[in-house]
Structures are given as C-alpha cells and as structure tokens.
Amino acid sequence: MKYLKNPAVIVEPQTDFVVFFDAEQGLLKKSNEVGLLLWRLCDGEHDEESMAEAVLAAYPDANSDMVHRDVRAFLQELQQCNFICLD
C-alpha cells in the first residue's frame, strides 16, 4: 500500500519542527523533521517499508525495529486525521 497526501493539508516547516494543518477539518499536528521526511514520501510511490528504509538511511544509528514501529504509528495517525490516504 502506498500513501498520498491530502492536498487540503497545509505544511509549514519551522526551525525545529513542522506543522500540519487542515483548515477544512480544523486539525493541527506538530511533528519533527522525520515527520516532514515521511510527509514528503507520501507521493503515491512509497509504501511503509520504503519510508522506514528512507528514515534509516537518513539516521543510520537508529534502531531498525523502533523506526519501523514509529513509522507505522505516524502513518496511522496521519490517516486517522485524514492528512494522508492509501493509494
């Protein structure tokens, strides 16, 4: 399953974090630079596994099991907020 961004969601990168905002739903979510990386990968070309591998490539010292678990949880949270959908 590959992920797509909801075009209604506005993304505002800040210095140390990123803000996701959906004005239609009135939902706001704050995340870190990993969240922004995952958001950028929600392009219809990446699935959960390839996203986790991208995080591991960017952070080679990270624990693989934890990265996979955290990527899954983040994607599920974005789906629940309707910020992303499955393609």
pTM for the whole thing? 0.92
CATH of region 2-86: 3.90.930.60
Residue of 34, 28, 30, 64 lying closest to 49 (CA atoms):
64
Which residues, at least 6 apart from 6, have a Cβ–Cβ distance to it below 8 Å?
A: 22, 82, 83, 84, 85
Q: Any idea where the domains of the chain sit in the sequence?
A: 2-86
- Write out the chain's pLDDT in tens, 87 residues: 899 999 999 999 998 899 999 989 999 999 999 999 999 999 999 999 999 999 999 999 999 999 999 999 999 999 999 999 998
